[in-house]
Structure 1
């Protein structure tokens, strides 16, 4: 894993609703539909719909360029940026997690990850732990990481892409004994913290969905774009924090399913209008 790739991972998990985070979310939701290139002026105009001023946008763009997420490129005399190839791969990985509609089953079992890193490359231990945590793995025991089996293919793909596969062994597993699995997952994951993340998402975005569902008449494209981008920016972290555990292992009041439905409904309600706003804004300044 190169330093550039590590920087991209940091940008992917940056604090939500900052200019940098909103730009990463924008390129994930819309940038590839534009061919990956966009003028700086259009980025400024688009993020103005979210109340972000021009200078913070320029600063965030510069940081994403330094980290290897964006590549400067002029087109038709206009200064702009295109996505780097590692950024495209990172966003494609995100698509599979962010927009997936999983129905996990306890019978599917688990995937275990064990890794061994030579002392001469010990810095990669932190990278591996960090990457496994971001994929949704919990810690079953020192050096033993566990996740629902449905994360196996994604884990294999990501560790291979980041050149970490040589240090890792992955196993499929079934929990046989001795503690009840529902009790075990409370040790492996911080379920109260995960629940709070879902509840915070619901507190902010469920009223937005309610308001839009009551809206009649023409849709305000700038408002749809702004509310949709904020929702995606908030949501895109949750499927990584929450590994998608089978419902029988979770508390009866678990808010994750409700949060997922709110996001899916917001995406369905606002996604097309948001894309229309992006296309008209960019086309209007071509």
Structure 2
């Protein structure tokens, strides 16, 4: 949740946050002061925040690495939704990783999944996003397995059913359950009593979906895909609540 707050309020502001403001925001979420302070220290120790003493107070500044990470995360989160157009091309990734190389297997599995790739079996990944070919290459290089991998961009020519292939690569029913829960949580109309709290909860709930949903083209999705409704709901609520939530954060983060 701390990264949600940093990306939603600190990044578009001046890149700084007083400890008191973070404590006040997290208190609304039901997080104890000790846990919030520990989260700040862990984030600082990981290189994402720098602490600056101003008298008896502490101000936290985003590091350049955090700014890059949050900027990319914001782009992915706020523009996420079903692909609008598709040229019918697929990216195929074939890689051999020894069972003993657990680190490489973890990197490839988690990073390719984050990029929307689905697995058709051991060492074989597919994606309908041809523009993510270089992302796959980068993941393979970072995992240290590029010499045992092949990446292709191609068109599917037939044989087994495309719907069955998609079902084998991605668990879309499970993703749809998550979308339906999101819709149920945030469909209520009107302005919430605590807009900052609800904006944090909204963004925190939505930021999971780029890792869950491969953002398939509409041609590959089931009829009445709830992800489309959820994306529209997120965009509407985020836009409606944004100004008031940022004003409230600015008030909390005031030095006065």
Could you state the TM-score of these two structures normalised by the residue count of structure 1? 0.77
Q: Say which SS state the counterpart of residue 81 (structure 1) adopts.
A: strand
Aligned to 2:27: 48
CA separation in 2, counterparts of 1:159 and 1:147? 14
Aligned to 1:181: 162
Matches within 5 A, 1:184-199: 184-199=165-180
The answer to whether the 8 A contact 1:113-1:171 is kept is: yes
Does residue 239 of structure 2 align to residue 268 of structure 1?
yes
Matches within 5 A, 1:55-204: 55-75=34-54, 78-100=57-79, 102=81, 103-116=83-96, 123-149=103-129, 152=132, 155=135, 159=139, 163-164=142-143, 167=146, 169-204=150-185
The answer to whether the 8 A contact 1:106-1:246 is kept is: yes
Distance 1:65 1:50, change over 3 A: same
User: Which moves more between the two structures, 78-87 or 244-253?
Assistant: 78-87
Distance 1:183 1:105, change over 3 A: farther
CA separation in 1, counterparts of 2:241 and 2:162? 39
Shift of 1:263: 0.4
Shift of 1:248: 2.4
Shift of 1:238: 0.7
- Structure 1, unaligned stretches of length 5 or more? 1-21
CA separation in 1, counterparts of 2:179 and 2:60? 34
**Would you identify which runs of 4 or more consecutive aligned residues in structure 1 move more than 4 Å?**
116-122
Q: Say which SS state the counterpart of residue 30 (structure 1) adopts.
A: helix
Matched pairs, number: 253
Shift of 1:252: 1.2
- Structure 2, unaligned stretches of length 5 or more? none
Aligned CA RMSD, in angstroms, stands at 2.8
The answer to whether the 8 A contact 2:51-2:61 is kept is: yes
Structure number with higher helix proportion:
1
User: Which moves more between the two structures, 85-94 or 261-270?
Assistant: 85-94
Aligned to 1:19: none
Aligned to 1:227: 198
User: Which moves more between the two structures, 197-206 or 28-37?
Assistant: 28-37
Aligned to 2:5: 26
CA separation in 1, counterparts of 2:209 and 2:47? 24
